[in-house]
Structure 1
Amino acid sequence: MPSPIIFYDLPSTLSVNAWSPNTWKTRYALNIKGVAYKTEWVEYPDIEALAKKIGAPPTGAKADGSPSYTLPIINDPNTGKVVSDSFLIAEYLDATYPSGTTLFPPGTKPLMAALEAGVIGAIGSIFPYQLASSCYILNPSSEKYFRATREATYGKKIEEFSPAGAQRDADWAKAKEGLVAVDGWLSKNGGGKFVMGNTVTYADGILGAWLTWIKITNGESSAEWKDFASWHGSRWGTYVSNLQSFATIV
């Protein structure tokens, strides 16, 4: 029997622990694929040292040109492969474990990349709010790192990212309008539960991850999530509920 893949994820102060949209893409992919894995939790300041220790490739470059290391990362003891980046991880899982559910049906990779760009574009107006919400649920060492790096990028305090008021309301209204297009795309899937009808794929890992981020960081009982979930005929709340069987945290 294959050994479990080691999946490195970012923890939080919440009981569910997992919160990051980028790592949720990989968690959904692992659960959809049906391969055995186990989670190891890594705080933000410890990611670079871990990546270098296990030989994980960088996923970008810092402002000074040095390599940047991010999660998700998987370490597969069955093959000795260490893979970074959620899309590359999903590709690896399909190539290495073909007997599981196919994450990328033939010819769909470009469409899934386009889907992600479309979703990010649709909800981008609430990213400042979401970044602040994410900061507030982190453990102390990660909160300090997250706050310092995001404040340096945006040039203002986390508390100033999306203060309550007219601008925040406008940002949420813009996201609702932006998701009209995504709702329209899903309306063409024949009435199925997932992006591609009744066939679950990595497209659901992508869309599900971004929606799950909003649900978890705000709280399932929050006014923000309840409002968001109700948009477009309760499309988004129903969709996340349909993915619940693939949201296992192990």
Structure 2
Amino acid sequence: MAPQIVFYDIPSTLPSKAWSPNTWKTRYALNFKGLAYKTIWLEYPDIEPLSRELGAAPTRNKPDGRPHYTLPMIHDPSTGAVVSDSTKIAEYLDATYPDTPRLMPAGTVGLHHSFEDAGYPLLAPLYPFGLPASNARLNPVSEAYFRSTREETWAKTLEDLTPKGEEDIAQWAKLKEGFGKMNEWIHASGEGSAYIMGDAPCYADIFIAGFVIWIKLVLPDKWEDMKLWHGGRWATLLRNLEKYEAVV
């Protein structure tokens, strides 16, 4: 039996611990491919030291130019590879385990990158809602780190970042509009299509689902509204991918 892949995720106080949209993408991907893995939970201050110790590449640079290390990250004992960033992990899993279901069907890697580039701006209105709500569900050591780093990035407190009143209504409407655009992309694959590529899920659907489940978990009141959007598209997506939600 091949050694289990080690998957590093960030814990929360939620029952399953899993919450982050980015690490959810990798969890969905591992479960979709049916690969044996185990989760190791890392609090925020421990991510950079372990990433450096394992030799993981930084996912981007901080504003001052220093390398920035983030999760998800996997360590595959079968190959010795350490890979961070959910999209790079998906590409690695497809290349290394070609006999398992493909996340990015042959010839679509570039299209998946383009999908992400187009999708992230549509999701931008979510962060003022999702970041404060996520912070409230972190363990104390991660909460302090998350708060200080996000407040530095946004130049305001998380309390001030949270939309209120008319701003809440406007921001939520912008998010609905963005998801409406993604709904159009799915619908373009054919009337009744459940996924971006038609009848079968791919990594683009997992990308969307990572953010949808984030809303469901940390913004339950907002989820009650969102699950009705676009004919129930997003609630259906999560139901369809529910078999890939196992936290192991």
Structure-2 residue corresponding to 1:158: 158
Query: Which residue of the partner structure matches residue 19 of structure 1?
Result: 19
Task: Determine if contact 2:128/2:163 at 8 Å carries over to the other structure.
Answer: no
Match of 2:211 in 1: 210
Counterparts of 2:53 and 2:180, CA distance in 1: 44
Alignment deviations for residues 138-160 of structure 1 (CA, whole Å, 9 cap, x no partner): 11011000000011111111001
Match of 1:148 in 2: 148
CA contact (8 A) 2:26 2:89 kept: yes
In the aligned structure 2, how far is the partner of 1:164 from the partner of 1:65? 34
Contact 1:8–1:72, Cα closer than 8 Å, also in 2: yes
1:237 paired to 2:235:
yes
Percent same amino acid at aligned positions?
50
Rounded Cα–Cα distance in structure 2 between residues aligned with 1:160 and 1:178:
23
Contact 1:195 1:204 in 2 (8 A): yes
Q: Which residue of 1 aligns with 2:94?
A: 94
Secondary structure (helix, strand or coil) at the match of 1:243 reads helix
Question: Gaps spanning 5+ residues in structure 2: where?
Answer: none
Secondary structure of 1:25's partner? helix
Q: TM-score, normalised by structure 2?
A: 0.95
CA distance in 2 between partners of 1:223 and 1:214 (Å): 9
Bigger shift: residues 178-187 or 44-53: 178-187
TM-score, structure 1 length as denominator?
A: 0.95
Counterpart residue number, 1:183: 183
Q: Which residue of 2 aligns with 1:65?
A: 65
Contact 1:21–1:213 (CA<8 Å) still a contact in 2? Answer: yes
- Name the count of aligned residue pairs: 247
Structure 1 unaligned regions, length at least 5:
none
Point out the more displaced range, 139-148 or 57-66. Answer: 57-66
Q: Is the CA contact 1:56–1:83 (under 8 Å) kept in the aligned structure 2? A: yes
Corresponding residue for residue 194 of structure 2? 193
- Tell me which amino acid in the other structure corresponds to 2:88: L
Root mean square deviation of aligned Cα: 1.3
Cα drift, residue 52 of structure 1: 1.3
Offset, 1:27: 0.8
How far, CA to CA, are the matches of 2:90 and 2:32 in structure 1?
A: 10
